Amino acid sequence: MQSILRTLCVVAATAGSARAQATGAVLSGVVRDSIARVPLAGAWVQLVEAGRQATRARTVVTDSLGRFAFDGLPDGRYLIGFFHPVLDSLGVEPLLRQVSVSRRRPARIDLTTPSAVRLRAALCRDLMAPTAGGAVLGAVRDARSRAPIDGASVTGEWLEITFSRGGRVGRLRGRVSATTAANGWFALCNVPARGMMFLRATNGADSTDRIDVQVPPEGLVRRELFIGPSRLVLLSDSAPVTDTLVPARRARVGAAQLQGIVVSSASGRPLAGAMVRVGDNPPARADERGAFTLVDAPHGTWMLEARAVGYGQARVAVDLVTGAAPVTIALSSAKAMLDTVKVIVANAADRHASGFEDRRRSGAGMFLTAQQIARRGAFTTSDIFRQQSGVRIGYDYDTLETDANPDVLVDMNQLSDRRLLMRGISGNWCEPALWFDGTLIPELSVDAIDGWVRPERLAAIEIYSEATVPPQFQRNRSGCGAILFWTK
């Protein structure tokens, strides 16, 4: 009996092979994104006979691993190509390749998007871009309908440094801009070949956030930007507008929602109680599962900030669009980020013994008491300065001059820390001197300030312009002011 079954199986297999030979060959392959180095799922792959393009094309859709297959192909030459939103964002037409099938043998061909080098050369050929320069390309879309936006403005900025005769070193802001085409597509050439830059898209009164973009070594970035309607509102926890010491805090809001989870990058453990925020909007707190939901957020592409006690801050660009997928934010432990710091406290002074009240009565600067600080509802110390007159949170990049030509391009990776900035004596943005309980602490980033002291631990803050800094807190010819923190 078993011998009969084996014979039947062999006959069936032979018949199946004969039918496959009779119906034709199989052509298979994989579609890949050469820039992101990942397979493209959902790509529409089309095949047509090379000499008969007018005939109906055969179409298949790639699976989750980018794989496709055509069966039953007669011998001959064929043209093959694919369609995918990635090609739209690159602003290129589908690329056709030729493949031959003979003797009904299985054939294989892999398809890819154009390489970064080819795209950069094609995009920037007419702009005389240097071969070492990079490019940013993509599309601007409506955050609600995802339709392309025609005529939107896209601006890229970065830091450049110059060396002149005599050894003088200067810094300035590199800037390029472009206007989107009817299909929403844009391209920015002559950006840094690698390092950090900043990107923003605007359409009338609406815009994206200024997002951080890391340019890879191959010098090409593909980024879709989404713009949606939003409005400015007065936050409910702000002080009355009549209180000149506590300016009104405004946030840009909309009707977008975003869900996600905050985890430890080392263990993957959910971080309960983590705080997540977009722009100046009130933060959302993660539950015991590390899950959070942002509501009434502005539509579009924004920078999302996440913080948790004992962990470093994370800033990631997110797309607040209709039907946005949940995001996962991973935070690194502060132990992995910070070297050991030895703190020596000598002659610690509180605000009552420091002359705070005497300086406050003089009216020479701006003074915030513990009650006024609490009224602002700040989650972190840097939040106190959001919308503060004459003070802003930005990058060292924001202090650049713009009256020189770039000679040398530097990597922005070392300049990505945000700082407290104020208007200097010449009207430019500069870093003020930061004093904590009477001790000057130089070169503190915003993250370091937030880790140094919490808002509820502050007894008072003093803010001075260059012209009003008290003598004991002046730095010789700094050209900038000072901010004094007094703790409880």
Are 422 and 480 a contacting pair, CB within 8 Å?
Answer: yes
DSSP letters for 339-372: --------S---TTTTTHHHHHHHTSSEEEEHHH
Residue 237 has pLDDT above 50, yes or no: no
User: Which pLDDT does position 419 carry in this prediction?
Assistant: 85
Q: Is 296 exposed, middle or buried (0-12, 13-18, 19+ CB in 10 A)?
A: middle
Per-chain mean pLDDT for the chain: 78
- The DSSP call for residue 383 is G
At residue 200, the pLDDT reads 94
CA gap 115, 112 in Å, rounded: 8
Lowest mean pLDDT among 142-156, 281-295, 317-331, 408-422: 408-422
Query: Is residue 109 over pLDDT 90?
Result: yes
Residue 289 has what pLDDT? 95
**Residue 361 banded pLDDT, cuts 50, 70, 90:** confident
Please compute the mean of the pLDDT values over residues 344-354 and round it to a whole number: 47
How confident is the model over 389-428, as pLDDT tens digits? 888 887 655 444 433 334 444 444 444 467 889 887 777 7
Give the pLDDT confidence score for residue 396 in this predicted structure.
56
Where is pLDDT greater, at 125 or 447? Answer: 447
Number of Cβ within a 10 Å radius of residue 391: 19
Question: Where does the pLDDT of residue 477 fall: very low under 50, low under 70, confident under 90, or very high at 90 and above?
Answer: low
The candidate with the shortest Cα–Cα distance to 306, out of 318, 316, 295, is: 316
With a cut of 50, say whether residue 75 has pLDDT above it: yes
pLDDT of residue 367: 92
| Tens-digit pLDDT profile for residues 2-34 | 344 344 343 344 444 444 444 788 999 999 988
Q: Which of 228, 158, 38, 137 is nearest to 413 (CA)?
A: 158
Among 317, 280, 264, CA closest to 272: 264
